[in-house]
């Protein structure tokens, strides 16, 4: 059977990998190409790159980094950040991305999901969401998790999958950066509503958090950044630990 | 030179990059003469069968591919490129394939057991373990897998799969149904998985392909 996936996420700005806590207080880590190689050697099942730059010049640097990674590392690569049009899909796919993640681009124009799915196939379109519990309801957030759109996040995801999103990255703002474990209630709710792979994001603090995550049927992958970047959790050790716990892992 | 057949389907960046990384000259080409001059051919592909087959036919390369392989040239079809090798596909209708490998292409979803239906996610996306078909010779498995062991994981992305191809199956994987993971008929090979996305194990399979003789 298919293995559960461990995915490090690399936020890239000014040609470097960064990671903030609760999206604030961003700090520099390292060279993205070197880090990608390190994670590939450690047994990462996939890599996610987010381009968190704003300017066109910086976007060019990001494209160069991506091309360099895709020329040396042969595992699936998902790319997000600044994806607003089909031209953006095209740009990152040409640099070697396999899947493209849309977040605020889909909030601005929801038709991009269907148009991209038709052009590149469902498997290529990843819907990424930042979600927080507001007055007992899950709301969809934008602008790096700072702005409440007021949109019902669960319905948003159901609609996104109906329109061709082939995979979901579900990030909980409430657990992100807190390192107290994944937002399992939210993840369970989403898993009960859709039948596409779910990548859980936000909250991983230790190996046990991943073991707890994969007890929940319907969750396919765990994504994290800082705990991997700062070597608090080693991916090789994590995967061996999970396998020992009975989780199906690619070692 | 390895010719990667270009017929306007899919993203060929990783395939070309992986071969280059292994030290081989790989040319993405839709030129007949390149296919004739090449040492080996790779037929890539993503998307829907009918559309891909129509595009391949439109290039006028079908006869060249068939001639070159019947003259003993090695060919590797990858993902949809493997499915095109079969006789027929039942993906949204009934469509004729290249007929280089006996068998048909059918939906995974339709074949799932009642307990898995609606629960197991289709497409089959992710890393899954290979079971290599025993060959009875010294190596014990097909030479495409000379660097591969049973249980090695490779990366799959597909909703349809090859059936009625027992004679040519050289590897399988389990996803409620037994999925045909790789086939071979003479010098014609196909992998349902993406060797160019399967890390070191995938690179080793590509390397083994370049060493087939």
pLDDT bucket at A13, cuts 50 / 70 / 90: confident
Joined together, the tokens standing for residue A153 give: 């996040």
B165 catalytic per annotation: no
User: Residue A95 and residue B13: Cβ atoms within 8 Å?
Assistant: yes
Question: How high is the pLDDT of residue B142?
Answer: 98
Q: Band of the pLDDT at B11, cuts 50, 70, 90?
A: confident
pLDDT at A145 (0 to 100):
84
Which of B79, B42, B43, B45 is closest to B179 using CA atoms? Answer: B79
* Alpha helices per DSSP H over B43-186: 49-58, 62-70, 80-83, 108-111
pLDDT-based confidence at residue A54 (cuts at 50, 70, 90): low
Which chain B residue is nearest to residue A76, measuring alpha carbons? B197
Q: Which of A1, A45, A70 sits opposite B174 (nearest CB)?
A: A1
Query: One of A11, A45, A209, A220 is an active-site residue; which one?
Result: A11
pTM of the model: 0.94
Please, are residues B152 and B199 in contact by the beta-carbon 8 Å criterion? no
B115–chain A Cβ distance below 8 A for any pair: no
* Inter-chain touch A1–B175, beta carbons under 8 Å: yes
Q: What is the CATH number of the domain that holds B177?
A: 3.40.50.880
Q: Give the pLDDT score at A23.
A: 40
Can you name the residues that pair with A172 across neighbouring β-strands?
A: A131
User: Which of A81, A35, A75 has the alpha carbon at shortest distance from A58?
Assistant: A81
The number of domains in chain B is: 1
Q: What is the pLDDT of residue A29?
A: 54
ipTM above 0.85, yes or no: yes
Average pLDDT over residues B114-121: 90
Q: pLDDT tens, A15-51? A: 888 864 434 444 555 788 989 999 999 999 999 999 9
**B213 CB-contact burial (10 Å; exposed 0-12 / middle 13-18 / buried 19+):** exposed
pLDDT value at B26 more than 50: yes
Q: Indicate if the alpha-carbon torsion angle A114, B125, B158, B56 is positive or negative.
A: positive
Q: Which residue of B has its CA nearest to A99?
A: B11
Hey, are the CB atoms on A74 and B174 less than 8 Å from each other? no
What are the residue boundaries of the structural domains of chain A, listed by start? 5-244
Residue A22: its pLDDT value, please? 39
Q: What DSSP letter does each residue of chain A carry, written as one string? A: -PPPEEEEEEEEETTEEEEEETTEEEEEEE-HHHHHHHHHHHT-S-EEEEE---SHHHHHHHHHHHHHHHTT--S-EEEESS--SHHHHHHHHHTT-SEEEESHHHHH-THHHHHHHHHH-GGGEEEEEEEEEETTEEEEEETTTTEEEEEEHHHHHHHHHHTT--EEEEEETTTTTT-S---HHHHHHHHTT--S-EEEES---SHHHHHHHTTSTT--EEEESHHHHTTSS-HHHHHHHHHHTT-----
Band of residue B94 on the pLDDT scale cut at 50, 70, 90: very high
A178/A209 Cα distance (integer angstroms): 12
| Residue range of the domain that includes B66 | 2-93+100-211
Q: Tell me if A32 sits within 8 A of A81, measured CB to CB.
A: no
Check residue B208 and give its pLDDT.
98
The fourth-level CATH superfamily of domain A5-244 is: Aldolase class I (3.20.20.70)
**CB B14 to CB A74 under 8 A?**
yes
Mean pLDDT, rounded, of chain A: 92
Average confidence (pLDDT) over A127-133: 97
Q: Average per-residue pLDDT in chain B? A: 96
Residues 6+ apart with CB under 8 A from B26: B1, B2, B3, B4, B15, B16, B19, B20, B42
Neighbour count for residue B21 (Cβ, 10 Å):
16
Which pair of structure tokens corresponds to residue A157? 């995801």
Summarised one tens digit per residue, pLDDT across range A64-98 is 999 999 999 999 999 999 999 999 999 999 999 99
Calculate the CA dihedral of residues A79, A82, A85, A89 and round it to 10 degrees: -20
Q: Flag the least confident range among A147-161, B17-31, B117-131, B178-192.
A: B117-131
In whole angstroms, give the CA distance from residue B28 to residue B211: 20
pLDDT confidence of residue A19: 67
Q: What is the mean pLDDT of residues B33-56?
A: 95
A11 a catalytic residue: yes
Residue A242 has pLDDT above 50, yes or no: yes
Residue B22 pLDDT more than 50? Answer: yes
């Amino acid at each position: 059977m298919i293995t559960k996936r461990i995915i490090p996420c690399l936020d890239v700005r000014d040609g470097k990998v960064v990671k903030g806590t609760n999206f604030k207080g961003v700090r520099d880590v390292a060279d993205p190409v070197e880090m990608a190689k390190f994670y590939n050697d450690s047994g990462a099942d996939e890599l996610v790159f987010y381009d968190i730059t704003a300017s066109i010049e910086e976007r060019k640097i990001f494209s160069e980094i991506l091309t360099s990674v895709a020329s040396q590392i042969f595992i699936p690569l998902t790319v997000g950040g600044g994806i607003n049009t089909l031209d953006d899909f095209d740009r990152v796919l040409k640099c070697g991305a396999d899947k493209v993640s849309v977040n605020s681009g889909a909030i601005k124009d929801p038709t991009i999901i269907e148009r991209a799915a038709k052009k590149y196939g469902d498997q290529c379109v990843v819907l990424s969401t930042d979600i927080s519990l507001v007055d007992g309801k899950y709301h969809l957030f934008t602008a790096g998790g700072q702005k409440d759109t007021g949109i019902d996040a669960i319905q948003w995801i159901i609609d996104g999958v109906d329109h061709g999103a082939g995979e979901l990255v579900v990030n909980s703002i409430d657990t992100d950066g807190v390192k107290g474990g994944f937002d399992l209630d939210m993840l369970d709710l989403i898993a009960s509503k859709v039948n596409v792979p779910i990548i859980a994001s936000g909250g991983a603090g230790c190996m046990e958090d991943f073991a707890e995550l994969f007890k929940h049927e319907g969750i396919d992958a765990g994504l994290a950044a800082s705990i991997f970047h700062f070597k608090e959790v080693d991916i090789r050790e994590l995967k061996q630990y999970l396998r020992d716990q009975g989780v199906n892992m690619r070692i | 030179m390895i010719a990667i057949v270009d017929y306007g389907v899919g993203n060929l960046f990783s395939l070309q990059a992986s071969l280059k990384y292994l030290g081989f000259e790989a040319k993405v080409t839709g030129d007949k003469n390149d296919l004739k001059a090449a040492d080996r051919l790779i037929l890539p592909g993503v998307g829907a069968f009918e559309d891909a087959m129509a595009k391949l036919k439109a290039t006028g390369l079908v006869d060249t591919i068939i001639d070159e392989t019947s003259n003993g040239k090695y060919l590797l079809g990858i993902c949809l490129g493997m499915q095109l090798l079969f006789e027929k596909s039942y993906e949204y209708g009934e469509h004729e394939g290249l007929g280089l490998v006996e068998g048909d292409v059918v939906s995974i979803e339709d074949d799932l057991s009642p307990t898995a239906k609606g629960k197991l996610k289709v497409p089959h996306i992710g890393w899954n373990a290979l079971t290599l078909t025993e060959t009875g010779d010294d190596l014990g498995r097909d030479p495409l897998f000379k660097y591969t062991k049973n249980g090695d994981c490779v990366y799959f992305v597909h909703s349809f799969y090859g059936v009625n191809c027992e004679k040519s199956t050289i590897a399988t994987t389990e996803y409620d149904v037994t999925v045909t993971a790789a086939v071979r008929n003479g010098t014609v090979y196909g992998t349902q998985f993406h060797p160019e996305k399967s890390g070191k194990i995938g690179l080793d399979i590509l390397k083994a392909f370049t060493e087939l003789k």
